[in-house]
Structure 1
Amino acid sequence: MGRKRSKSTHLTIKDAELDRISCLPGHVIDQILSLMPIKEAVRTSVLSSSWRNKWYTLPNLVFNKHCISVAASKYTSVINNKFLRIVDHVLLQHSGPINKFMLSDNENCLIRVCDVSDVHRWVLHLSRRSIKELLLHFWLDKRYKIPLSLFSCQSLRHLSLSCCQLKLPTTFEGFKNLQYLHLEEVTLAQDDFENMISGCPLLDHLVLMKIDGFSQINVHAPNLSTFQFYGKFEDISFQNSSQIYTVYVDLSIYLNSKSNQSKLHGCSSNLLKFFAHQPHIQFLEIGYYFLKYLAADDVPVKLPAPCISLCELSLCINFNDLKEISAALCLLRSSPNLKKLEIFVSI
């Protein structure tokens, strides 16, 4: 009897040691799954009963080229079909809250123009799941129109879109919880842009890259702290956005329109106009065309109010242009607490 008890006890301990993966605490399993590509996370369901349904509640869903096996990489149609099935399968099986949904196709092999209806269906599904972070990054031959269901996602805190058209519905009341907005190669009208920004009272970080549809950048965002811009513009103005401390405007194309700037803004200096509304700027990067914009019309020797918060300044200067040199000197004279200065020479 003693030997049998000893043997039974020995087998139980040995089995427990061999199946340590099933004994992991739930929060540890969740952490492991969160660090894995979605394809591998789904495969863990075969490990044991405690892992079988764990991936159903993954809060962050990222779909990219890593979802597809290497064996299918030579056939675009196979890749596309498998990718669509994977996204559909995951969303159908998923039962927990979805905090983040990211669709990334940088190599243009996962999503095609004919798949836009699938994307619309996914967005509609997500709009009913209190999604907090939505990133749609894929490039098509023509820009797809964002479905109206997106504008009902009042739980959104982070929104990043590329290669699309935005048309606000008449019932749009803003994204009341949105803090981060990134628009790249997006087409939208001037009024829609301004209504969208003003309808985001908590917006903190705004990134605009190659926006089409307008070139007058008017930003009305009381809590905006960081503004990044790359693209064409005639004028940039910030109203009710005095909390900005980081501005990055680089490699832009300044469309010179001197004919109506002074009349519209009642100010003969873009430099004065820009800094009059930005008392808290701490980090400022000025690309070649933006400096050209700031140097347009009259350039003062010094700003009326010093930029006392400005501690880091980056400039791209054409030293053959006296107006740009004057604008740069004005900034330097007006920045008594500057700690870091970068100057790039434009040729």
Structure 2
Amino acid sequence: MSAKVLVDEKRGKLIKTDAIEMESKAKNVDRISNLPWDVLDTILVNLPLRDAARTSILSSKWRYKWTGLSKFVFDDKCFPSSLSGKVRWGEIMKIIHQVRSYHSGPIEKFKLAAYCCPNSSDLDQWILFLAQKGLKELILQDFSCVKRLKLPSFLFSCPQVSCLELYGCIFKLPSDFKGFYCLKSLQLTQVSIISDTLESLIRNCPILERLTLLSIEHLAFLRIHNPNLKYLKIDSEFEDICLENSMLLDSVDIRMIPMYGRTVPQQLEHGKPCNLVRVFRCLTGIKKLTLSSYFLEFLANGEVPERLRTVLNHLSFLDLKEIKFNNLKEVTVFVSVLRSCPNLEELYISVAETNFSRSVLGFLKAQCVCEFFSQLKVVRIRGITGTIIEMEFIKLLLARSPLLETLITVTYGPERIPESLLLQVQRASKHVKITSLTL
């Protein structure tokens, strides 16, 4: 074998060896650890906090990386279900102590939804730490303790807060409160707050877009005035409501729980407009509306017009919950609302009860306006039993809905309404599909 051939073979082996060594080194390069922190933060905050904390065992370089996250979410994924509320809070405090010791940079979000029993003093100090870190989202949910937490005053001076969800708190505004100028979303659940405080809070959130009030205590008169509000959900006790100066509202969901067990609204003073007119006269831009039985009865206080003067031209979705078809006041109100929605496309109704009422039956039979529901396409009625009043309402829908495509009825009993019976009813639409279901 010539010397040239031997040299070429050795050169080939060297080249192959170098390639293998380079490939091995490439495999051992820790590319993840060398990623920019903003990229790592994006990865880690999308993991459950428990999994993000487990990265501390990867290497000494990773030991405290998780403590520098921009978002901290404590939920049931972090702890075994067997742990009690107090023990869970103890575990949370261990994590908080590490974060306070090693964290640098901003913290944008803190969510506590671990069904724990927080110590008020510890939570105050943590919120103070968050306030100094540029907190934008604070979410407190589902405590296991009964005692109400008093919110610390420095929370109301967080300039960057854009989302607040508070549960089980005592809400009092400090005397020097100037407003949440960045707050876009506010949710209060089982919070103790008086009407005047709530009104002041809403007024002083100039860019507030979403407001949710659930099981609020001590509310008598709900005054909601905010020109930028777009979404409103209320499921709570209250006696009266005013929605003036909320012209941009496009989604409203109101479930009224009568205060003190009183289901009949107080008598209106002579000359005052019906509650239906007063509440809805400013909601000209609304697109989605959900109303419950007791609130319909509240709206019926006064002389209910056949239709609202302020036509709800933009309303395309209407959901009526817990309707009592034997209550003339409720039926009168929701028919008046239906008359005022020329562009309504979807109608959902859940029925609470339908005992026979001669006055309701007569009222429904008298509704004979041509093309009453000219744009209606989908109707779903849940909880019916097939009474004569329910059937009269269904007849009205079928006879006055020329574009209707789908009608679904759901009964809770063993027997569904025969589709053949509904097919015998006069229908304005030739293409409607009728379906009867049972639950």
Q: Say yes or no: TM over 0.5.
A: yes
**C-alpha distance after superposition, 1:166-213 (max 9, x if no partner):** 111100011011000000000012221111110001000000001112
Moved more, 305-314 or 134-143: 134-143
**C-alpha distance after superposition, 1:255-314 (max 9, x if no partner):** 54424x547xx6330110011111111100011111111112211111112110111111
Compute the displacement of 1:35 (Å): 1.5
Kept after mapping to 1: 8 A contact 2:86/2:117: no
Note if 1:127 corresponds to 2:136: no
2:105 maps to 96
Following superposition of structure 1 onto structure 2, how do residues 57-76 of structure 1 map, counting pairs within 5 Å? Answer: 57-68=68-79, 70=80, 73=82
Q: 3-state DSSP class of the match of 2:41? A: helix
Q: 3-state DSSP class of the match of 1:160? A: strand
Distance 1:88 1:138, change over 3 A: farther
User: What percent of counterpart residues are identical?
Assistant: 34
Moved more, 12-21 or 228-237: 12-21
2:352 maps to 346
Compute the displacement of 1:338 (Å): 0.5
CA distance in 2, matches of 1:267, 1:59: 53
Kept after mapping to 2: 8 A contact 1:73/1:79: no
Q: 3-state DSSP class of the match of 1:14? A: helix
Distance 1:75 1:212, change over 3 A: closer
2:266 maps to 258
Higher relative contact order (CA 8 A, sep 6+): 1
Moved more, 54-63 or 12-21: 12-21
Residue 228 of structure 1 is aligned with which of 228, 233, 254? 233
1:329 maps to 335
Aligned length: 337
Q: 3-state DSSP class of the match of 2:191? A: strand
Residue 172 of structure 1 is aligned with which of 172, 177, 183? 177
Note if 1:31 corresponds to 2:42: yes
Distance 1:41 1:120, change over 3 A: same
1:14 maps to 24
2:186 maps to 181
CA distance in 2, matches of 1:16, 1:262: 83
CA distance in 2, matches of 1:322, 1:64: 46
Kept after mapping to 2: 8 A contact 1:111/1:138: no
RMSD: 2.4
**C-alpha distance after superposition, 1:121-165 (max 9, x if no partner):** 111111111111000113221211111111111210000000010
Q: In proportion to residue count, which structure has more helix?
A: 1
Larger radius of gyration: 2
2:93 maps to 84
Distance 1:77 1:244, change over 3 A: closer
Kept after mapping to 1: 8 A contact 2:153/2:173: yes
**C-alpha distance after superposition, 1:11-41 (max 9, x if no partner):** 3421321445546643553332121122221
Moved more, 224-233 or 5-14: 5-14
Q: 3-state DSSP class of the match of 2:73? A: strand
Kept after mapping to 1: 8 A contact 2:85/2:117: no
**C-alpha distance after superposition, 1:226-274 (max 9, x if no partner):** 1000011111111211110100012633654424x547xx633011001
Moved more, 139-148 or 12-21: 12-21
Structure 1: gaps (5+ residues): none
Distance 1:252 1:91, change over 3 A: farther
Kept after mapping to 2: 8 A contact 1:184/1:210: yes
Q: 3-state DSSP class of the match of 1:40? A: helix
CA distance in 2, matches of 1:74, 1:240: 48
Note if 1:159 corresponds to 2:164: yes
Residue 118 of structure 1 is aligned with which of 115, 118, 122? 122
Kept after mapping to 1: 8 A contact 2:68/2:99: no
Distance 1:19 1:340, change over 3 A: same
Distance 1:283 1:22, change over 3 A: closer
TM-score by length of 2: 0.71
TM-score by length of 1: 0.89
Kept after mapping to 2: 8 A contact 1:227/1:246: yes
CA distance in 2, matches of 1:130, 1:262: 50
Distance 1:4 1:177, change over 3 A: same
Q: 3-state DSSP class of the match of 1:231? A: strand
Residue 41 of structure 1 is aligned with which of 47, 52, 65? 52
